A and B are shown apart, each in its own frame.
Chain A
Amino acid sequence: QKEVEQDPGPLSVPEGAIVSLNCTYSNSAFQYFMWYRQYSRKGPELLMYTYSSGNKEDGRFTAQVDKSSKYISLFIRDSQPSDSATYLCAMSAGNTGKLIFGQGTTLQVKP
Chain B
Amino acid sequence: GAVVSQHPSRVICKSGTSVKIECRSLDFQATTMFWYRQFPKQSLMLMATSNEGSKATYEQGVEKDKFLINHASLTLSTLTVTSAHPEDSSFYICSALNRASGTVTYNEQFFGPGTRLTVL
Which residues on the A side are within 8 Å of B91 (C-beta)?
41
Bin chain A's interface residue count: 20 to 34
Stretch in contact with the other chain, from A43-51, A59-67, A68-76: A43-51
Interface residues of A (CB under 8 A from B): 4, 6, 8, 32, 36, 41-46, 49, 51, 88, 95-104, 106
What would be 20 A-B contacts, judged by CB atoms less than 8 Å apart?
A32-B106, A41-B116, A42-B113, A43-B95, A43-B112, A43-B113, A44-B44, A51-B106, A88-B43, A88-B44, A95-B107, A96-B32, A96-B49, A97-B95, A97-B109, A98-B34, A99-B109, A100-B46, A102-B43, A103-B42
Who on chain B is nearest to A6 by CB? B43
In this complex, how many residues of chain B approach chain A with their Cβ under 8 Å: the count is 26
Main secondary structure of the interface of A (DSSP, over half): loop
Q: How far is the CA of A4 from the CA of B43 in the complex (A)?
A: 10
CB distance from A56 to the nearest CB of B (A): 12
Which residues on the A side are within 8 Å of B43 (C-beta)?
4, 6, 88, 101-104
